[in-house]
Amino acid sequence: MIIDTTEVQAINSFFRLEALNEIYGILWILAPILALVLGITIGVLVIVWLEREISAGLQQRIGPEYAGPLGVLQALADGTKLLFKENLFPSRGDIRLFSIGPSIAVISALLSYSVIPFGYRFVLSDLNIGVFLWIAISSIVPIGLLMSGYGSNNKYSFLGGLRAAAQSISYEIPLTLCVLSISLLSNSSSTVDIVEAQSKYGFWGWNLWRQPIGFIIFLISSLAECERLPFDLPEAEEELVAGYQTEYSGIKFGLFYVASYLNLLVSSLFVTILYLGGWNIFIPFIFENRFFEINNGGSVFGITIGIFSTLVKTYLFLFTSITTRWTLPRLRMDQLLNFGWKFLLPISLGNLLLTTSSQLLSL
């Protein structure tokens, strides 16, 4: 039997080319995901540093200053310390639930970033149901907290998990109604379409002016979703030792810490996308059309300007939420639930009905 070496070489080169194409395809998928995770991690570290510096300023004391210049590496030092600390497990607890709970909280928060447009066409996945995917994913976080509280076999922890679930349900309904109003105004549930619908009319087309009541309700509900003061009842130290975190130590405790800041950052980004025009910049009228072209032109400069605009608006909201934490007193549990069910829910429902009526009349 005579073997044609030319054919063998051609077959080998074909399979090598196919293998290289598969490797490039995998890298093409993984590279944006890794870049997004890296950017989110840096963003969380910045938030932790900002919270410590702002709280120190409000309380007239010195914040972190030893780990790195101006204490910028303090959050990294704390994370490294938690990583090497011993992981303790409750002797009569459910170890599987105890271990899975923190992971569910972090993974659910990370998945929410996949539909966030940081700039023009700078989004990991532009889905038709982007905002509702975020709401669905954020609903999973309390399950992880409840699993953690139940798996700890501790009454304080279980009560903290139950409070987290009750609080999330109470405030997620008004938040969803506000998102429905925005979807009606934009005629889409895609995060990219919502931003582009606001960019058509410049600064005065932002949903902040078209939905001022919804904006306020969304801010309050997002703070409650993130369990930030004055809504941090699930982990209030005075009543519950540390809520669902009571039995946790080491890196598992650190994962809860990371999850809370991931939720805060994603809520701030969604405030920017839904109400503050996303990547669009506010420029005085004479330059507005020019910057609209730059923002939505798809150039590298335009995308960079858009990302910068998104981050500035996001961190302005973060400053507001951090200041609120160190300014307002904590609510009681009955006050928290009454405020959600008896005040925010009727107002958000009325806002949705008004938005629906205005859309029907404009047809």
| Three-state DSSP state, 119 | strand
Q: What is the DSSP string of 222-246?
A: HHHHTT-TTS-GGG-HHHHTTGGGT
Residue 202 CA to residue 215 CA, distance in Å, equals: 18
Distances, alpha carbon 65 to alpha carbons 49, 72, 270, 323, in Å: 10, 8, 32, 20
**What pLDDT does 1 receive?**
47
Please write the tens of the pLDDT for every residue from 17-63: 566 666 766 666 777 778 888 888 888 888 989 998 898 888 888 88
214 with 181: CB under 8 angstroms?
yes
pLDDT band at 12 (very low <50, low <70, confident <90, very high): low
**What pLDDT does 174 receive?**
93
Q: pLDDT > 70: what percent of the chain?
A: 85
Tell me the two tokens of residue 249.
Answer: 């130590």
Q: Return the residue matching tokens 């994370």.
A: 79
Please write the tens of the pLDDT for every residue from 169-188: 889 999 999 999 999 998 88
pLDDT band at 278 (very low <50, low <70, confident <90, very high): confident
Please write the tens of the pLDDT for every residue from 105-135: 898 888 889 889 888 778 888 888 889 899 8
Least confident of 161-170, 233-242, 257-266, 308-317: 233-242
Residue 272 CA to residue 91 CA, distance in Å, equals: 45
Give the 3-state secondary structure of 308-330: HHHHHHHHHHHHHHHHHHCCCCC
Residue scoring higher pLDDT (354 or 243): 354
Please write the tens of the pLDDT for every residue from 279-326: 887 654 444 555 555 555 556 777 788 888 898 999 998 998 888 888
Q: What is the mean pLDDT of the chain?
A: 83
Helical spans, DSSP H, in the chain: 5-58, 74-84, 95-111, 130-138, 141-151, 155-186, 191-199, 207-210, 212-225, 237-240, 250-275, 285-295, 300-325, 333-338, 345-362
